[in-house]
Structure 1
Amino acid sequence: MTTQIQSTVPVLASLNLGESVAFYTDRLGFTKISQYDDYAIVARDGAEIHFWLCADRNIAENTSCYIRVADTQRLFDEFLANGVPVKEPAVRPWGMKELYVIDPHGNLLKFGEYAR
């Protein structure tokens, strides 16, 4: 018998944990779970994102994570209202409707749903 994988959790680079937590809570609707000197955790709708303190912006700028969502258009509207610089969701050749957000340190967040 094998053990079932329950979830995956991205761990993103942060140049400043306070800035990361503020962006994800104030702009993207996450809740701060915990924050330490070199690590932080935010959550929304049962999904978590973790951050580790990193001094190299190049690492964050070359990192991304994919987040499955139910409605990219509603997220777009929410993020836009919260001042996030974001473009309309678009259907990609691989059959997903996606919305992209780049956080203050360069991490790319891809929010996606199956295109209908």
Structure 2
Amino acid sequence: MTYSCRVDFNKIHMERERNEDRQADCITSYDLKKLDEMYAYYADKGCEVLPLEECMRKRRLDVMRLDGFGLLAEDMGKMIRFYRDVLGFEIKEAEDASNVYLVKDGTLFLLYGRKDFEKMTNRRYEYVRGLNGHSEIALYVDTFDEVDAAFKNAIENGATPVLEPELEPWGQRTCYIADPEGNLIEIGSWNKPFEDKDAGR
């Protein structure tokens, strides 16, 4: 009988895998008595040793990737004008479009008319009036000064102020506004370029 276990190799500990972040392999043996010794060997090398069933479960979950997010809009024209003209989203669809499909900074952004979505799914939904505290959209600018400028511009062009710019204890300057239908939008900065903002965190 062959006993097997999944092993996840980290490139830091595997010289031959410098070009791969992580690699999976199996430990197998015809001698059950040697398995514990083999598990200990790989664990000592910094590998994550998992039962095969657990590894396969993780693999199934890893198949799903975050593709984007969307908002269900009551007034598509008003929402398109806000995200296009106030926040600078490069929306190409006409203001009477039933949906908006935009890839912004590598993330898919969708606007979908509520009535059209209800028709497609054959369901009715409940919608929050006023400020919607269920989710937020997070936007980033490179400097603290740009946070203040973006907040001022958004408010002057119809956004609802929620939180004025302030420096948080964790070092981020941030503020909150709401779009015409009450969806929360954060505008923040770590006072460094977007490409470097997560370095060291």
TM over 0.5: same fold? Answer: yes
Report the structure number with the largest CA radius of gyration: 2
By relative contact order (CA 8 Å, sep 6+), the higher-ranking structure is 1
Compute the displacement of 1:95 (Å). Answer: 2.4
Letter in 1 for 2:172: M
Compute the displacement of 1:96 (Å). Answer: 1.4
Give aligned pairs, total.
111
Q: Counterpart in 1 of 2:139? A: 67
- Provide the identity percentage: 23
Q: Counterpart in 2 of 1:79? A: 154
Flag structure 1 segments of 5+ consecutive residues without an equivalent: none
C-alpha distance in 1 between matches for 2:168 and 2:67: 23
Q: Counterpart in 2 of 1:88? A: 164
C-alpha distance in 1 between matches for 2:105 and 2:154: 15
Partners of 2:160 and 2:180 within 8 A in 1: no
Flag structure 2 segments of 5+ consecutive residues without an equivalent: 1-19, 22-65, 115-124, 193-201
Partner-residue secondary structure (3-state), 1:58? coil
Q: Is the deviation greater in 100-109 or in 64-73?
A: 64-73
Distance 1:73 1:43, change over 3 A: farther
Distance 1:101 1:53, change over 3 A: same
Partner-residue secondary structure (3-state), 2:153? helix
In the alignment, does 2:120 pair up with 1:50? no
What do you get for the CA RMSD once the two structures are aligned?
3.3
Partners of 1:91 and 1:115 within 8 A in 2: no
